[in-house]
Amino acid sequence: MTDPVTDPVTDLVLLLLTAFAVWTGWRVFRVDSMVRASFSLMLSFMAVGAIGLLLSAPYIGIATVFMMAVEMMVMAIFMVMFMMNPAGLNPMMMVHQHGVSIAAGLAAFLGLGTAILLSAPPSDPVPPQARVVAQLGHELLGPSMLIFETAGVTLLATMVGAVILSSRQGRHGAADEGSRPPGLTAGGAPAGRTPGEEGGPGHHHHHGGHG
């Protein structure tokens, strides 16, 4: 059995997958539609999952694909609830402090990259015959059980917190009481319909419709 770590073909595939993960990650902020953005992010995660598979971490790799497919589906659903342009095949660029963000991103990449290139990490690959999934199971329910259980309790707290935060009923009345949409211009009148106004949708919004 060849060592998967020194095999040049594995190296090449790994390089391509890493490049794909970074490219799809970059596409997330460059595509027009949020559906494309979220599924581009999913592709980035899937590439990382495939790298996990390649580097002999089958459970982590496949679980990443599973988790991210579900998460991005959730993201797509939320997006249609809240975005102005849900199906969104129109150009979309909504950014602030753009220059600062680019600088921060570059600085993070260059700093981490320099650290990686200057340091010499130990080379100690996974032994090929290791039963990594069983090892993970024994670790989770053995020495690291407290950490695992803490993660479980954290997730439970998350569920409770998410339900409370997103609930419409609150101690001081409905959460959306007195809610007003933001103005179309800074400091302008609220967008959308005002409460007193009668008439169905389309009164103010003649967008041409379908066809």
Partner 1 sequence: MTLTIVLLGAAALIGLGLYGALSQQSFVMLMMGLELMLNGALLATIGFWALALGGMPEGQLLAIIVMAVMAVEMAIGFALIVAVYRKRQADMTESLGTLKH
Partner 2 sequence: MTGLLVLAVLATLLAGACFAVLLDRAQPALVAEFFRARVETEAPDRLNRDLAPAWYLALAAIGLSVVPFAPGLALIDSPAGIVIWGSCEALIVVTIFLHGWAPNAPFPLIGAYRYAALALPVMLPSMFVLIAAALPAESLSLVAIVDSQREIWNVIRQPLGLPLFLVVALALTLRGPMDYADGADIATGTSAEESGAARATWYLARAAMLVSVSALAATVFLGGPLGPLLPGPVWLWLKTAALMALTAWLGNHVARPPPGRMLTLLWILLLPLSFLHLAISGVLAL
Does 175 help bind partner 1 (rule: CB under 8 A)?
yes
Give whichever of 130 and 184 is closer to partner 2, judged by the CB atom. Answer: 130
Q: Minimum Å distance from CB 197 to partner 1?
A: 15
Q: Minimum Å distance from CB 90 to partner 1?
A: 14
What element of type H or E holds 117? Answer: helix 98-118
The owner of tokens 């609830």 is 81
Give whichever of 148 and 203 is closer to partner 1, judged by the CB atom. Answer: 148
What element of type H or E holds 195? Answer: none
Does 104 help bind partner 1 (rule: CB under 8 A)?
yes
Site for partner 1 in 105-164 (CB under 8 A): 105-110, 112-113, 116-117, 121-127, 130, 132, 135-136, 138-140, 144, 147-148, 151, 154-155, 158-159, 161-164
Question: 189, 181 in Cβ contact below 8 A?
Answer: no
Question: 32, 90 in Cβ contact below 8 A?
Answer: yes
Q: How many CB atoms lie within 10 A of CB 172?
A: 6
Give whichever of 23 and 66 is closer to partner 2, judged by the CB atom. Answer: 66
Q: How many CB atoms lie within 10 A of CB 64?
A: 20
Give whichever of 15 and 189 is closer to partner 1, judged by the CB atom. Answer: 15
First to last CA, the chain: 61
Residue 36: which residues within 8 A CB-CB, separation 6 or more? Answer: 27
Residues near partner 2 (CB under 8 A): 33, 35-36, 39, 42, 58-59, 62-63, 65-66, 69-70, 72-74, 76-77, 80, 87, 89, 131, 133-134, 210-211
**Which one of partner 1, partner 2, none interacts with residue 50, CB within 5 to 8 A by kind?**
none
Q: Minimum Å distance from CB 200 to partner 1?
A: 19
Pull the structure tokens for residue 183: 């103005």
- C-alpha to C-alpha distances, 140 to 133, 136, 146, 150, nearest whole angstrom: 11, 6, 9, 11
The SS3 call for residue 183 is: strand
Give whichever of 69 and 191 is closer to partner 2, judged by the CB atom. Answer: 69
Give whichever of 8 and 208 is closer to partner 1, judged by the CB atom. Answer: 8
Tell me which of 10, 36, 62, 69 binds partner 1, using CB under 8 A: 10
